[in-house]
Chains A and B, each alone.
Chain A
Amino acid sequence: MSTNTETTAPLAAPALDRAANVMRSIRRIGQGGMLLALILALVFFQLTTNGVMLKPLNVTNVFLQNGYILVMALGMLLVIVIGHIDLSVGSVAGFLGAIVAVLMVGATLPVVGKVQLDPVLALAVTLIVGGIIGMWQGFWVAYLRVPSFIVTLAGMLLFRGATLFMLGGQPVGPFPESFRAISAGFIPEVIGTVPDPFGTGAPPVQLGPLVLPLGGGPLQLTTMLMGGLLSAFVVLIAYRARRGELRYGFAVPSIRQFWIRNALIILGIMFIAYRLSGYKGLPIVALLAFVLIGGYMFLTLRTTIGRRIYAVGGNAKAATLSGVNAKFMVFLTFVNMGVLAALGGIIIAARFNSATPKAGYGFELDVIAATFVGGASAYGGVGTVAGTVIGALFFGLLNIGMGIMSIPIDYQFMVKALVLLIAVYFDVSSKGKDA
């Protein structure tokens, strides 16, 4: 008389197990990594948009429209690596966009009275407020031990409300030109331009049905030069690292493999530089993102703080018993997230030339998804800056590509959802293999 559940459960379970097996065999095919997926997506969009996807304007737009994802994903990476999550970044970014707007446009605030700051000062104050918000949430998570999911879910509501309060339900803007340049500006052309060798009006170069991304406006040489310098720098670092490894007798890829790999990296960098210079050159927001990417690569790979964050995420107990102040590290990652959310909010406000009550709505999902798609582990301890950048670019590409294809927004959401699920599945299943 006891159990009917006992008989029904075993019937359903094998079917689910079989489905999981099918998923595993798909995963083995797809093990080429995120970079391959990114390239495939590029080719796909290039084909379906008949070459529009990789026109200079659209490559530029990938950065202009998704700069905030890149910036905030760097903060989210550290939060996820240390084993937490921040659901509030969209609301926080919206709130800080409102702060910077109100400070610049001028408003009467309680206690301080009437304020109107110049853009630089407003920016600095906003970044500091971002840090304070991070301290607030970090304190609840690290020291009061409330799960980050709950703390930042509360933060999501709290700062959405605070945004409405700050703006009084009205958009605030417009902003001074100098401030807007953050999201709409390009680096000044100091060298000059040359015509694109593939011309503007010439028929497109094709490889079968694939329109090659060549030809565009006159090339901005400063951007090309910066691309060249970045390539040289990246290769130099890689070369020195390889030499160091050799000296300590580590197995390294052969010199031929090394150069093939680096040639591909140079190709990638120079391609982006070439496309950007065919429009208006390097966007300021992209420059900002590249500097931050470099900085966070250094932080994660070379500093003791970075090392400790990964150790806490990998095994908090072992890290604590090794003398790492795990609580403080968690606190720090949230402060860092707050500052980067401030930067994200500033970029969004500058891009729309106004702060609106709805700004940043749902951005946390893009940011979190980009981080996970980039290979960060939902269990903590694993994730790289490079992967996160690829994940963010992947999502940026999806946004722009589906936009050009005029795919309705409802389908866009569903496609992104599937991408996220599959990417995290890869992560989970590769974990299972180790255990």
Chain B
Amino acid sequence: MSDVLLEMRGITKEFPGVKALKDVSFSVRPGEIHALVGENGAGKSTLMKVVSGVYPYGSYEGEFFFKGQECRFHNIRDSERKGIVIIHQELALVPHLSITENIFLANEQSTAGVIDWGLSNSRAQELLKKVGLDEPPGTRVSRLGVGKQQLVEIAKALSKNVELLILDEPTSSLNENDSQKLLQLLREFRSNGIACVLISHKLKEVESVADTITVLRDGAVIESLDATAGDVTEDRIIRGMVGRDLTHRFPPREAEIGDVLLEIRNWKVAHPVYEDRMVINDVSVTVRSGEVVGIAGLMGAGRTEFAMSVFGRSWGRYVSGSVLIRDREVDVSTIPKAVDKGLAYVTEDRKTYGLVLMNDVKTNITLANLDGVAQTGVISPPKEVKVANEYRDALAIKTPSVKQIAVNLSGGNQQKVVLSKWLFSNPDVLILDEPTRGIDVGAKYEIYSIINRLAAEGKGIIIISSELPEVLGVSDRIYVMAAGRIAAEMRASEASQELIMKAIMRLARAGAEEVVL
């Protein structure tokens, strides 16, 4: 048997406008735990989706071999037949079915289509024992906590005779105790010869469990570290993750900062379903007029949840906290009220939450302020067109006409339409959530310029971004968020990627210890 289980050579994967993977080579030895780390958007998940057949053969360039055989997967089934199983960050279990039913979903223990329940349950029992889950196999999955659900996923993977198990952020929603159990399980698998690719942001875990650590950045492999000796530190990994030369340029920024425009005090919000889980915990933030405030943090830090809960309580269950605009407490408990008080929230997911894709550009631009183009409820088409044309020119939206259907625009131009919509509502404070996600470098620059212009007009801007260079490049002041709290606040001129990363890790560690206590 060769000493390489999986070998990938020259993998390149392009999405419209973005090169997600650039000539990536990656290999996994049999029975090792191989950690894959990198910032959001570095290409970790994309690479693993190639391996597992989520992106079928032909949709990427390059080749890869599993146990010496070349692989050309057309779907997940193909990869699973070979013994490669991926467990995604969002668990793929059917909540209303039992553990047994989930384990053997689409792989039923059956004869001529008739399920053998006795066999199914006894096999499920065996698998549960292997993963250390002490629950009757007939239990409905919805009754299990996230940690136990994760174990069911792994049992499901084992039922497919897995040889390479890929886990995408398996511990991101687990508490410290469950995380440790899971990592212990991975170690057991290693001794049984099952190799494992672990994608994780929790570098402490990576440090403790991984044999090899591969760092991805901007779709390319930066380095592969041998961690068996145990001399690879968290700091060493962070340096690899963020230490890039700036590939994006930012327009020069001369801030003229005025009085406090928006102040959010002691904001607390609970999870919409699990009411005892505090997702936003005592967050206080201020924004001055003319100021661009960045909120940095990793995915799942609670930044979007925070912004949306402030904007008309459109996320979660409000627990406590107050919002002040120009030192006066205001009621922003519904979206219309928030808009009326001068808030605007530009969503991170423009297709799902930002645009009515089947409607045209002008209809989308006026949606948040229809009364601005109407009199006593009757829309004036000329006025609407005039407004839309003004924004098209001001923001340089590339579209043949404002009657173009939004779905036909490129990502950057769609983003400008969403921005136009909110500018037309004439807000005092704009919250921009990942405003440059998935758009090309040129369009990014334009968006940054618009942000600068708005700040120069005296508006307050909050920009949420997972790209640290972006936060550093456009902000005047930066809040670092982690685990639903503000981990640090710093002036952009004094901040650096290392400082931000360290702040995140510090709080993550503190949070973990708190749970153990």
Contacts and interface: CB of A to CB of B under 8 A. Distances in A.
Interface of A: 1-5, 8, 241, 244, 247-251, 302-305, 307-308, 310-311, 314-315, 317-325, 381-382, 434
B493 interface: no
Given A1-B109, A323-B336, A250 B403 contact: yes
6 contacts: A1-B109, A244-B381, A250-B401, A311-B356, A311-B363, A323-B425
Given A248-B389, A304-B370, A321-B335, A5 B113 contact: yes
Nearest to A304: B370
B393 to A, nearest CB: 12
A2 B363 contact: no
Contacts of B107: 2-3
B93 to A, nearest CB: 20
Contacts of B370: 304, 307-308
B379 interface: yes
B378 A302 contact: yes
Interface of B: 107-113, 311-312, 314, 335-336, 338-339, 345, 347, 352-359, 363, 367-368, 370-371, 374, 377-379, 381-382, 385-386, 389, 401, 403, 407, 421, 425
Given A310-B359, A434-B407, A3 B371 contact: no
B67 to A, nearest CB: 22
Contacts of A8: 113
Given A304-B370, A304-B374, A304-B379, A318 B113 contact: no
Contact of B377 (A1, A3, A303): A303
B401 to A, nearest CB: 6
Contacts of B421: 322
B355 to A, nearest CB: 6
Contact of A382 (B110, B354, B358): B358
Nearest to B119: A1
B379 A303 contact: yes
Nearest to B381: A244
B111 A317 contact: no
Contacts of B363: 307, 311
Contacts of B345: 321
A136 to B, nearest CB: 24
A3 B110 contact: yes
A383 B254 CA distance: 49
B377 A244 contact: no
Nearest to A306: B379
Contacts of A320: 314, 335
Given A2-B109, A302-B378, A314 B357 contact: yes
A314 B359 contact: yes
A304 B368 CA distance: 11
A325 B336 contact: yes
Contacts of B367: 307, 311, 318-319, 322, 324
A382 B403 CA distance: 16
A415 B254 CA distance: 71
A319 B356 contact: yes
A191 B478 CA distance: 79
Contact of A2 (B110, B374, B407): B110
B108 A5 contact: yes
A251 B403 CA distance: 10
A237 to B, nearest CB: 12
Contacts of A250: 401, 403
B347 A321 contact: yes
In order of increasing CB-CB distance, the 5 nearest A-B pairs are A314-B356, A322-B368, A304-B370, A323-B339, A315-B356
Given A303-B377, A305-B377, 6 more contacts: A3-B107, A302-B379, A304-B374, A307-B363, A319-B367, A321-B311
A368 B367 CA distance: 29
Contacts of A317: 352-353
Contacts of B336: 323, 325
Nearest to B373: A304
Contacts of A308: 370
B315 to A, nearest CB: 10
A321 to B, nearest CB: 5
Contacts of A325: 336
A311 B108 CA distance: 43
A314 B368 contact: no
A245 B113 CA distance: 62
Contact of B401 (A251, A302, A303, A434): A251
A382 B357 CA distance: 12
A5 B115 CA distance: 11
Nearest to B337: A323
Contacts of B377: 303-305
A47 B378 CA distance: 46
A323 B347 CA distance: 13
Given A303-B379, A323-B336, A323-B339, A4 B359 contact: no
Contacts of A315: 352, 355-357
A244 B113 CA distance: 65
B356 A321 contact: no
Contacts of B385: 244, 248
Contacts of A304: 370-371, 374, 377-379
Contacts of B111: 1, 4
A3 B345 CA distance: 50
A317 B379 CA distance: 23
A5 B335 contact: no
Given A304-B374, A319-B367, A314 B335 contact: no
Nearest to A431: B358
Given A303-B378, A307-B370, A311-B367, A321 B359 contact: no
Nearest to B363: A307
Contacts of B374: 303-304
B64 to A, nearest CB: 26
Given A315-B356, A321-B314, A322-B368, A4 B382 contact: no
